[in-house]
Amino acid sequence: MTMTRPSPRAMRHTVAALLSLAMAAPVAAQNQATPASTPTPTPLQRLNGYSLPPSSGATPRPTPGATPVPVPAPPVVALPTVQSTPTPAPTPIATPVPRVAPSRRPAVVATPAPSPTPAPTPGATANPAVEPAPAPVAPETTVAAPPTPVATPAAQPDLAAADQGSAWRWWLAALIVAALAFAAIMVGHRRRAATRIEAEPPVLVEPAPMPVNEPAPIAPMPLPPAVTPVGPATRASPAIDMVLRPGRAGLNLLSALVEGELVVTNHGPDAIDQVQIGVGLLSAHRGQDADLAAFFAAPPSRPAVPAFSLAPGESRAVRVVAATSRTAVQVMHAGNRPIFVPIVACLCRFVTQGDPYRAARAFAVGIERVDSAKLAPIWLDVPARMYDTVAARPHALPAGVV
């Protein structure tokens, strides 16, 4: 729901009207308090048209010598002075109040004054005028005695005026508070309306920073290529490959041997020189890895063939014969039959780019079978003989041998 915001001009007129109403409240209160100060008619004023009724015991019968002159004289002369001084109501203590009180009191006391006790004496014919003379004196002595009852009605208008004065002060304070509250409410509505109407603050977009011409990064100096340390002869080059092609294998009365070709191929980009081939014949058994490691650590000093060179990508088949004594054969059993599985160890040592290298390989040799891809061992429970239908399979090298 949209709220209409009052205009500033309407707000100023509203606040001015409330302030005018607050200022007019005291004046109205004073005007209402003024009628309370009108003097109430005194007992003497009420007695202007009043005549005392004749009493049988107070007034003597008219005599020829008594004149009614002293009776009307005292009250008629004292009445005009009392009417000319009204009592002001706003002041709590007014000086005219003590004067009005004695004037009211003699008027009340003057009622028994015309009936003095010595008047009925029949002998008072010549001095009736002298006898009434003390009568006015008696009211003067008795007038000052009771001022308290007269002051009570004069104080009542003052208490009413004080109550009315405090009442209009409360009204004035209430109107001022109402005006301030109304002004605060209007200001709050105005602020809320301004907050709703005000558009969202614009998003300040920071200007793009000026491109700074950063200095071109200095290219790092190329590090010199790592020099491959020349290791011992145990580190062989992967560029050399060797494959054994056995021709025959078997036993005789004194030894066991394997004859065939060893094909050496240079797969590297550089030529290799001083290629030397060494071979050895071992038996498969539980401790064969130790035997292989011992052979590659101390190969035979006499090469199988004279040294030769290989160009990049060149291959050469070298005829080799690996033999061992019959007593060095490690016998194993398969199906309660003794068997012999020959292992040919091959070591190739060469030089390339002036650095020496070496490569090691191992092959298991067996008799081919027509019914399976597996090779059959050489049986030791049959007469010794040489087998022509033989083949070789690569054999794993012991750890640390390359």
Residues 148-200: tens digit of each pLDDT: 444 444 444 454 555 566 777 888 888 898 888 888 888 777 776 555 544 45
Record the tokens describing residue 98, joined without a space. Answer: 């003590």
Assess whether 172 and 246 both reside in one domain.
no
Q: Please check the confidence at residue 63 and state whether its pLDDT lies above 70.
A: no
Q: Please check the confidence at residue 369 and state whether its pLDDT lies above 80.
A: yes
Cα 38 from Cα 275, distance rounded (Å): 154
Tokens 């209409």 belong to which residue?
4
**Residue 198 is assigned to a structural domain of this protein:** no
- Expressed as residue numbers, the domain containing 263 is 240-394
Domain count along the chain: 2
| pLDDT attached to residue 169 | 82
Q: Please check the confidence at residue 372 and state whether its pLDDT lies above 50.
A: yes
**What is the band of 294 on the pLDDT scale with cuts at 50, 70, 90?**
very high
Q: Please check the confidence at residue 65 and state whether its pLDDT lies above 50.
A: no
**What is the band of 13 on the pLDDT scale with cuts at 50, 70, 90?**
low
Assess whether 21 and 127 both reside in one domain.
yes
**What is the band of 388 on the pLDDT scale with cuts at 50, 70, 90?**
very high
**Average pLDDT, rounded, for the chain:** 69
Please tell me the pTM assigned to this model. Answer: 0.43
| pLDDT attached to residue 6 | 54
Residues across the chain:
402
Cα 324 from Cα 332, distance rounded (Å): 17
**The last residue of a domain, from among 150, 165, 182:** 182
Which tens digits make up the pLDDT trace of 209-239?
666 666 666 666 666 666 565 555 444 455 7
| pLDDT attached to residue 204 | 60
**Torsion angle of C-alpha atoms 106, 109, 114, 118, degrees rounded to 10:** -120
**Residue 233 is assigned to a structural domain of this protein:** no
**Residue 219 is assigned to a structural domain of this protein:** no
**Residue 234 is assigned to a structural domain of this protein:** no
| pLDDT attached to residue 139 | 41
Choice between 225 and 144, residue whose per-residue pLDDT is larger? 225
